[in-house]
Structures are given as structure tokens and as C-alpha cells.
Amino acid sequence: MNKSNHLFLLITLMMGAATTCPAPICPTCISFTGVSDTATPIPGGTGTFLNFLGAPSLSAGNVAFVATGSGDQAGVYVSNPGAPIVPVADTGTAIPGGVGNFVSWPPSPIISGENVVFVGNGSGGQAGVYALYPPSPIIPVADTSTAIPGGVGNFVSYPPVPAISGENVAFIGTGSGGQVGVYVLHPPGPIMPVADTSTAIPGGVGTFVSWPPGPLISGETVAFIGSGSGGQIGVYVLHPPVPILPVADTSTAIPGGLAAFQYFTTLAMDSANNVAFVGGRAGNVDINPQQGVYKLLNGSLLKVADLTTAIPGATDNFSGFGSVAIDPGIVVFEGFDSDFRKGLYTDLGGSLSKVIAEGDTLGGKTVSALRFQHTGFSGGQAAFVAEFSDASQSVFVATLSQAPCPQS
């Protein structure tokens, strides 16, 4: 394998297994291209990458990821097709509007086109949401000197996963005294609250109290999972100027299930404002546990896969689900087998197929772990981190298609 900044590994698989397709048209053809690995020199640094933290984000072929090297080297990096990997921010980058340099990054930067947003930390409790709009330098979206809109005092911290669409940024910010909310910036601003602890829960009782994962944004539309008191939780969408609306909550019947949702864990949204999520409910003496991947298309809530769904190419059913991504209307998701081995699966073409799974061979090595996130699927491509049995790691892009496949 070429160990330069861009690897030129290309492996073509059909249904995640064979190297050729047995028919002129195959249901899902998948090719894998390496982006970076633990033999890739650190741009602007010394030595090679040692670890890829979290999961990469993908937009229009551009990949953003957090990686570390020896001697406390770390940074946010971007790979654009046909160009060398470049640092967005590393431990040699001055904190805009702050003091000193960045020292760490939560592992999930998000990319939209060539624009990147991330949460960065510095010494002395410095933290903020920062955006890069090339060719301009990094700017702070919000940091610990930013007043909380509609609140008291300044933000004090930022959960790790912001969102970006074009130049619009959404994030969760917290303040003193239990202040927390979802906020959005449409440049040039100002920052506006989408929902905070004073916002009434649509279709519920009282106000929101927390937002488990980060928000999503597409254009001016913002989606998030929000919870309230008394076990209230739901998936909500704001389509300005329409008020916040529930997509699904604890009064929503589970498609193909036997009761209503009790929880929601992961969420994704595409450019057409379709959403996908993982949700379910605990079992009891009358009903088995229910969990699945669901998507809302054209106002219809549809099941993609649940605990009764057979795993493509395997003999058992899914035992659980992790991250999910959608674009445009097509879903890629993490699914687990009965031994809790993770795989990536897609509903491209209307039926499920495997992209890659732990235990598979990729580039001549055995995959021991996979990492994928809600912005890891764009334009028919899925980006993920693969860890291998020899302790090496790589960032890959899988290209999914239903075009005619080459014959042996």
C-alpha cells in the first residue's frame, strides 16, 4: 500500500464479500478507498499518525477527522480528493480570540463542502465552537466569552458535536445554574436560541431539560433529540418560521412494533430535511425489547431495520444499533450481531446489504473495530475508521453504487 498522504487502495466488493459481481447488474456494489492510516506522515508535524479519534465526517468527497501523533501531537485534519491532507487546527494553532494554542479536540469535527466546524479546547478552561470557511482563517462561533442569548452570563462549555450546513452552525451550549440549549448561527449572526430550558415541549408537558446528542442542521432547518421531565423524549425539527414540531416522541407508535417509543439515541438529517434515527423501548413481561433504525421520508415514518431483521449475509438477527446517517433518503447505519460485532449496512436499492463488518478482510488485514458517525455518509459515499488486528488504523471511504459491476 502506498503510505503517502493519500492511499490509493481500491478494493471492490459486492454485498461486502465477493470481489466481482455474479450478474450484469448487482444490488449493491461497494469500493473502498483509503484516505489516511497510521503510516501517513502528519502534515505540519513529526512522524506519522498514531490514532484516529472518533469517526470521520464526509461531505462532497471531503473528509474531516481528528488524529493524534507522538509527543502530544493532535489536530483536526481535512482530506480533499486529489490534494494532500492539511491541518485545520493542531497544537501549534493559536486559539482565535483566546490565549495560547489549542490543546485538544473532541473526536467529531463536522464538514459541509469545504467548511469545517469543531469544538476546541485550550489551557485554563478555554473552550469554544470554531469554524473554518476557506480561505478565511478559523473564527470563533461561540466561546467562554460569548453571552448566552436569552440567558444569564456567558457560555461555560460545549458538548462535543456541533453541526454545519453551508455557513450555518448549530451547537449545544451550557452556562451556569443549569442553563443549556440548542443554538444556531446564521452568519453574520447573531447567535439565536433554537430551544433551551425555557422552551415548551411541543406535544409534551413543561419545558426541555436536556439534549442528549448534538443537534443537526440543513440549510436553516435544525433537528435535535430533546428530553423533558417525567421521561419525556423525542425527535424534534425546526423549519423556520414554523415552530418546533415533533417527528417522533413517546406517543409515537413504533413502525412494525407493538407499542410507542420510549427512547431515542442517535439522529441524522439530509439536505432534503429527511431524518433517520435509532429508537425503541425496553421489554417487559408482555412485550419483548424493541429497537430499530427508522427514517422519515415525505411525512411517512418507515422502519429500516429492527431486532426482528435478519443481518445480510449472516444467520442471525440484529441485536442492536449504533450511529445512523442519511443522504439523500438512503440510510447507512451501524448494526450489531448476536456476538455484538459491529457492521455497517445500507438500504440502498430498497433492501439491506452489508458495507463492511468486524471480522471482514480489508486491504489484506482483518477488521477488528469500526467507527462511523451521523455525518459519515454523503453523495453515495460512507467514511469510517477501521481498526485492524495488527493494531493499525485507517480512514476509509466506501463508495456505494448500483451501476453495472465488472465481470471476472
Reduced to 3 DSSP states, what percent helix, strand and coil does the chain have, rounded to the nearest 5? 5, 50, 45
Query: Model confidence over 333-379: pLDDT tens digits?
Result: 999 999 999 999 999 989 999 999 999 999 999 999 999 999 999 99
Q: Does 8 score more than 50 pLDDT?
A: no
| pTM value > 0.85 | yes
Distance, CA of 384 to CA of 368 (rounded, Å): 13
Which is more confidently placed, 106 or 324? 324
Q: What is the DSSP letter of 189?
A: -
Give the sign of the dihedral formed by CA 248, CA 254, CA 163, CA 125. positive
Give the Cα separation of 162 and 373 in Å (integer). 13
Q: What is the mean pLDDT of residues 7-29?
A: 41
pLDDT > 90? residue 264 = yes
Q: Do residues 326 and 268 touch, judged by C-beta distance below 8 A?
A: yes
What letters, b where the CB count within 10 A reaches 16 and e where it falls short, cover 21-31? beeeebbbbbb
Would you call 164 exposed, middle or buried from its count of C-beta atoms within 10 A (0-12, 13-18, 19+)? buried
Residues 173, 166 contacting (CB under 8 angstroms) = no
Secondary structure (3-state) at 348: helix
Q: Give the pLDDT mean for 75-102.
A: 95
pLDDT, residue 6, reads 36
Could you give the dihedral angle defined by the CA atoms of residues 258, 260, 263 and 268, in that order, rounded to the nearest 10 degrees?
90
